[in-house]
Chain A
Amino acid sequence: MKKTLNQLPIGHTAVVKEIMTDPITKERLESLGIIEGVAVDAIRETPLGCPRIYRALNTLITVRNNVAKKIIIEEGELG
């Protein structure tokens, strides 16, 4: 089973493998730093659980879970 960004536990890091959203959402994610091949940390959950906060390229980014669900990641030391 492929792991997606919304499943990344808080405090963990993973590398973005593939962004399967519509092209406009993808463009938006990428221009903020969530890009295929880039490492992303899961930083924090908001009190209501959605959106969650991630860090990529030294920027904090909020992504709703329904979008994070479409971002495939690879966890572990070796990207």
Chain B
Amino acid sequence: MRATTTMTSPAILSLDTLRRYGIWILVAALFLVLPKIFSSGGAITTMCLMGIMIVFSLSYNMLLGQTGLLSFGHAVYYGLGGFLAVHAMGVIAADRLPIPLPVIPLAGGFMGLTFGIIFGAVSTRRAGTVFAMITLGLAELIASMSLILRGFFGGEEGISANRTRMLPFFGHKFGPQIEIYYLIAAWCFICIVLMFAFTRTPLGRICNAVRDNPERTEFVGYSTQMVRFSAFAISGFFAGIAGGLTAINFELMNAINLAGAQSGVVLLMAYIGGIGHFFGPILGAIIVTLLQSMLSDFTGAWHLYFGLLFIAMVMFAPGGIAGLIMLHEPLVRRRSFHRVLPRYALMAVPALLGLAGLVALIEIAHHQMVKAGTAGPAMRLFGIAFHSDNPLAWLAALVLIAAAILLGRRWGPGFRDAFNTAAHGGGEKETGR
């Protein structure tokens, strides 16, 4: 890893450059072709949202994953950024100022940074629980203020702007959603690169030191308060950019955007994705956005699935999805992945049975409690028509779950052993780093 500091010949340098920037070229290419692959209107809209949430959750992870700060009020900087961006769009359009739409997110970033500095100065004086409580208090303060200061926040209905009334940018008026997609994708890419670069700076490394051991950090010359404050302000900047993108995307901001629920969602995204790895929150943003937009089409109980997923991650995979992926790193490195594949296939049986049983149980219960009163007990699930008050349906769901538990208990230990052997022990000896 550190070999990059001791470059020698130009040939090695170019190879090294390719290895270092290859992933970025890949990401940029992916951003460019994605709308060609998923070209439906709904898909473009969802991907726009994903791009915004990637920036937002990465900014959140600067605090949680990198500096060890649990904030309950990150939506404040996202929301305030969005509100200022909407106002900026309005003023620029009204006065015909020569400022194009693509720079509007900077207004959001400026707002996020400003309030990151102001509130950061208050909240980062302490870490841990005290910090978390202060962020919660400030978030409630701003959320309740948003309903009072109608001039800036627009009250219940919020404030809106028209993005197409600004000057064209190289002939683009940003009416169609696809143009917005590329605007968001460009900002998303820039922000990912910048936030990744941040992890490689002296301050970024010291943030990790503060996360790992704040006490010791004070004894190597760093004020932990200053480190927390800096991280908080910079994180506020990127959250503000995400807010600015939201303002452009929806042309509307209202009080919900900076309320507690939004702060909760970004925490879930970062955590489900995995706060221990840089790319974790990216995965989390994609998955949670996808679940939010798709699951709600299929089931009225989607919030419950969302909550269960979060609880399951906290209990069984605290490293998040990124952590689960990185568990397989030794398998890939030792080229022993094929040895556990049959075990995975075997474990898929109880996993799918359990999932089916759980879904059935939730859906039947949901139908019986919410819909049966008005629409009657008749329902369909997995292509089967039945009545939600039929005890056999309930029994079938429970049997599926029981079977999953039994099979899981029988095959689980074998799976674990096979995985550990493939990852760490047996066969050829570890060949070092």
Chain A partners chain B:
no
Hey, which bits of chain A sit against chain B, CB under 8 A? none
